[in-house]
Amino acid sequence: MPLGNLIVAGAVLFSGSSASKFLTLCQHASIQMFSIGTYMNIQNLYLVPTIETVWQREQLHLLTAAREAGEPLRLGGDGRCCSPGHTAKYLSYTLMDLQTNKIVDTQLVQKNEVRNSYAMELEGLKRGLAFLEEEQVEVSHLVTDRHSQIKKYMREEQPEITHWFDCWHVAKGVFKKLEAVAKKKNCEIVGQWARSISNHTYWCAMSCEGNGELVLEKWCSILNHVCNIHEGHGSQFPRCEHGDLDDDRIWFRKGSKAYVELEKIVNGRLLLTDIRKLSPAEQTSGLEAFHKVLCHFAPKLVHYFHAQMEARLQLAVLQFNENSSRQQATTRQGDTMYRVSFPKSRKGEGVAKEVKVKQTFNYIDQLNEELVFRREVHSSFAEARRARAMEERERPVPISQSEPRARKCDIVAAHRSRFN
């Protein structure tokens, strides 16, 4: 095989591109290239195992470092479905070390491995924690969203791990509810307060050092504060900590319709239980950033078979881990750089973001080295196929094959009789 075939095929997958689009591009530009069949062989026999090896090596380093540091890990966990809506075939569950911002494990769950698609998230977490336990890596904290099965599992099966809820998820949930109420008649004022009230969740969590009862009192004090009452909130948090406020804000009137609607949200039964467990320090925003990287490697509207999906997930981790701790970029004059965007959800309000220094791709060198090595060891497709059959672990049956299928000739015959 020409070395170029191996390296170009590798570059297609390693960059997260689509092979069929790449080959169409070559055809349009009259560039001689291998066929899709050859690409698929190279992908399945060389690229996928190469990615697996390089990721496992990186993971080994991370886990060894964690064991040697002697401190139990503080993890963030989150699941991501492979497609929009509720039709997901896969869910990837990712565990991130929140102190180093590195992903230490990721698990791919296929829908037919569990009872229903809702159960995929818990399954992913269970597998991840079981793996870390097997590797003798201790975990002291886990920050997640408020997924109900995960809450129950952590409470009942993992009591030695402190379970916190991510502030962003809680704040977003509160904000959405407030926005919905603001659309009701005579409740416009709720909309004007929505952002400050949802931001209040962060302040409550971060100013209480994990004292759940204090978080709760601070949270509920918002019901006084919005009515211009800043004292008499409770025993642990008797009065607001802010100074004088400008007079031009609009206050709620106790007992008004808008106030009653707001009270329903702030005092929601589930929310009051969960608000005590808001994470005081680490949050899972790093995982949100990882899911954006994953969308590049595995776009939600494209279908992949299990092996390729897993390889793309591992590529995303390699790319993310190498670049997750980048510094903020500076101009030639030495000023720190920012970018301003106007997200649709903020309705014209600008948001500033730090610009980071350029990404690096050192992991690509490792992948290429391993790829060429693999080809040298297994120098024909037939040999590589035999080797793969020996080392490949069992994968779940593709969903399309878990149901009995009609024969093609019968389907075509039915189509013809209907449309002729």
Pick 181 or 223: Cβ nearer Zn ion: 223
Nearer to Zn ion, 47 or 178 (CB): 178
Using the contact rule CB under 5 A, the part of the chain among 74-82, 104-112, 240-248, 399-407 near Zn ion is 240-248
Query: What are the φ and ψ backbone dihedral angles of 290, each rounded to 5 degrees?
Result: -65, -40
CB of 236 to Zn ion, least distance (A): 16
Cα–Cα distance for residue pair 309/59, rounded to 1 Å:
18
H/E element, 90: strand 90-97
Residue with Cβ nearer Zn ion (229 or 329): 229
Decide: residue 355, CB within 10 A, 0-12 exposed, 13-18 middle, 19+ buried: middle
* Minimum CB distance to Zn ion smaller for 221 or for 321: 221
Q: For Zn ion, which residue has the nearest CB?
A: 240
**63 or 190: whose CB is closer to Zn ion?**
190
Provide, rounded to whole angstroms, the least separation between the CB of residue 168 and Zn ion.
23
Q: How far is the CB of 193 from Zn ion (least distance, A)?
A: 12
- Considering only residues 210 through 229, tell me which ones interact with Zn ion, judged by CB under 5 A: 225
Across the beta sheet with 139-144, the strand order is 102-110, 90-97, 73-81, 139-144, 162-165
Interacting residues of 416 by C-beta distance below 8 A, sequence separation 6+: none
Q: Does 102 bind Zn ion (CB under 5 A)?
A: no
- Contact flag: residue 240 with Zn ion (CB under 5 A): yes
Q: Which residues of 211-250 are buried (b: 16+ CB within 10 A; e: fewer)?
A: eeebbbbbbbbbbbbbbebeeebeeebeebeeeeeeeeee
The answer to whether the beta carbons of residues 91 and 124 sit under 8 Å apart is yes
At residue 173, the 3 state secondary structure works out as helix
230 binds Zn ion (CB under 5 A): yes
Q: How far apart are CA 313 and CA 90, in angstroms?
A: 11
Quick one: which segment of 5-13, 19-27, 234-242, 272-280 binds Zn ion (CB under 5 A)?
A: 234-242
Contacts with Zn ion by CB under 5 A: the residue count is 3
- Cβ distance to Zn ion smaller for residue 67 or 230: 230
- In the complex, minimum distance from the CB of residue 110 to Zn ion, in angstroms, rounded to a whole number: 50
Residue ranges binding Zn ion (CB under 5 A)? 225, 230, 240
